[in-house]
């Protein structure tokens, strides 16, 4: 773990791409344990909140599922208010001793907003139309930002950027899972 309870992740890449017509959330499928690839087709992105919210995670799977469940509870309490639900989750994550031990980062998106939620209590709305986390996150982010002016389809842009990340990062493969919402 690095400073402020934000882990230094090795082993996944999650990318969110927002265009005027779509939001695409992509993940690779690789699960690594040290230098060994344990699984190549893991599903790290999914729909939550009655299918209206895309969510992806980097980090420990059980921890991420716990956080997804907590986020869904917050969404039930604050329907249609992803940002409010995310802030409530981040506050709980930072203050409850049990949750403080959870090691994951989340990217969540609805039709209006894309957010990164961390265990340090951060709820970050990216400045640009793309955001990424995980070991290959910076590669995917750089590629996606470079492609934004040339590709208008969110899924196509995301697949190209993730392909570049998979070519560079040994902890990222090209077995992508994609979830899309029309905006």
pLDDT in tens, 3-43: 455 444 456 899 999 999 999 999 999 988 888 888 999 99
CA neighbor of 60 nearest in space, from 9, 96, 124: 9
Q: Any alpha helices (H) in 33-153, and if so which ranges?
A: 61-77, 82-95, 97-100, 137-147
Q: Any alpha helices (H) in the chain, and if so which ranges?
A: 61-77, 82-95, 97-100, 137-147, 154-168
H/E element, 111? none
- The domain ranges of the chain are 3-39+51-182
- Would you call 12 a catalytic residue per the annotation? yes
Question: What's the whole-model pTM score?
Answer: 0.91
- What are residue 125's DSSP bridge partners? none
Let me know: does 100 contact 93? Beta carbons within 8 Å.
yes
**Domain 3-39+51-182 grouped into CATH 3.40.50.970:** no
Residues 40-94 pLDDT 10s: 999 999 999 999 999 999 888 888 888 999 999 999 999 999 999 999 999 988 8
The mean pLDDT value of the chain amounts to 91
Which residue is catalytic, options 12, 13, 19, 114?
A: 12
């Amino acid at each position: 773990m690095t400073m402020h309870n934000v882990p230094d992740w090795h082993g996944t890449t999650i990318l969110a791409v927002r265009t005027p017509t779509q939001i695409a959330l992509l993940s690779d499928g690789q699960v690594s344990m040290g230098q060994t690839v344990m699984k190549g087709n893991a599903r790290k992105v999914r729909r939550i909140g009655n299918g209206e919210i895309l969510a992806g995670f980097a980090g420990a799977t059980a921890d991420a599922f716990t956080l997804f469940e907590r986020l869904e509870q917050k969404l039930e309490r604050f329907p249609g208010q992803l940002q409010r639900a995310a802030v409530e989750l981040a506050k709980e994550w930072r203050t409850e001793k049990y949750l403080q031990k959870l090691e994951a980062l989340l990217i969540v998106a609805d039709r209006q907003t894309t957010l990164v939620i961390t265990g340090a209590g951060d709820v970050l709305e990216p400045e640009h139309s793309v955001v990424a986390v995980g070991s290959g996150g910076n590669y995917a982010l750089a590629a996606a930002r470079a492609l934004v002016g040339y590709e208008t389809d969110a899924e196509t842009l995301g697949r190209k950027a993730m392909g570049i990340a998979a070519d560079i990062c040994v902890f990222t493969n090209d077995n992508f899972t994609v979830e899309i919402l029309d905006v």
